[in-house]
Amino acid sequence: MPRKTALDALERFRRDGAWSRQVMTALVKKNGLDARDGALASRMFYGVLQNRTLLDYTVDSFAKGKLEPKVRDILRLGAYQILFMDRVPDHAAVSESVGLCRSLGYARASGLMNAVLRRVMEHKDELPAVPGKGTAQYLSILYSHPLWLVEELMGRRGYDGAEAVLRADNAEPPVYLQVNTLRATPEACAQALGAVPHPTLPGCLLLDGGDFLHTDAFRDGWFYVQDPAARMAVMAGDPRPGESVLDVCAAPGGKSFAAAIAMKNEGRVLARDISGAKLNLVMDGVDRLGLSCVECRAGDAREIDGTERFDLVIADLPCSGLGVIRKKPDIRFREPSELDRLPELQAELLSCVSRAVRPGGRLLYSTCTWRERENEGVADAFLREHPDFIKTSEKTFWPDLDGTDGFYLCRMDRKNEI
């Protein structure tokens, strides 16, 4: 059933382009998988998405002729188990794939399935070489990223830098926890969870696996999950006790939580999001963490008119998400045409939310992408059009260099009125 569930998820994603995490969560529940089988199905599904281009290249090296979509998905699953999952015996990956093929009415393809996967198994230590080493096409196949993305990344980081980012995108993402210092010390939280301190960021812990969501420490609000880059962005905004903070596009709430904790729960944090359903997640976190200074309000950021003014406005705006591919492998399949309108939208939203910054206050613009046109391009255009703001800090985080999500922050301070 785990393999069938993973296959169903691949078909749903291929057919509908549905968000991968939503698809897998629904199918695991529908098929009644326990935690172990659900984890196996999820790993196979996400693993195939993460390595799909390379898997297709390998399969096509041994299979001649056109493959039916579902047969190709089964081959992808089988090849992934052979090449990337040490705990699954190769012969089991072959036999289970053949059985899955037959059970779904593709008995005519079972011989092909057996032959191709056995060749993958026999050549797993010496697979057909990807041609064109030193080119964007080579990196695109080897790391299963679209060619346009690789070319754009090479434009920013060069060939070696791009390869390092792509390799990080395909690595297992770490789990970082931010300690709620209003309720626990980092030392107590680390001991309770078996976590280790982040080497440079105080109050941040690295957790190596485990079901932390069902621990007493989680229920008691000792921590929340957040990448170090996102928390460091909030720290760049410098929220202080007693201040007023507006967090637009706040869901799922990590930046509001970080601001409230830095403010020692003194002052006011208004978490605002256009989605009422997502805002419920923020409210759940606020209650669990005991952050009485945080209030939630649904609303479109474009409706902000400056009636309310804040010491700090956090604008973590909709973006391409290319910095979090290691957590959401399906992001790599987004068409570049989908992303073309983002800088215009970001510029519009940033201009709107800037109205809420009081004279002498701070505006923090951030995204979870490394694309220059969504980051520096948007911030610099905003500054040209709003001379009452000045840039005071700016940084791009990279997964290979900083051990974080790909992330951008730019703090812009509003001049005091004369």
Q: Which positions are catalytic?
A: 368
Residues 150, 155, 159: CA angle, nearest 5 degrees: 65
Alpha-carbon distance of 78 to 98, in angstroms, equals: 9
Residue 230 identity: A
Packing angle between helix 90-103 and helix 2-16, nearest 10 degrees?
60
The pair phi, psi for residue 191, each rounded to 5°, is -65, -40
Alpha-carbon distance of 287 to 224, in angstroms, equals: 12
Alpha-carbon distance of 330 to 46, in angstroms, equals: 8
CA distances from 73 to 13, 43, 61, 184 (A): 11, 15, 16, 47
Tokens (6 digits) for 404: 């974080």
Alpha-carbon distance of 345 to 294, in angstroms, equals: 27
With beta carbons less than 8 A apart as the criterion, state whether 332 and 326 touch.
Answer: no
Alpha-carbon distance of 345 to 351, in angstroms, equals: 10
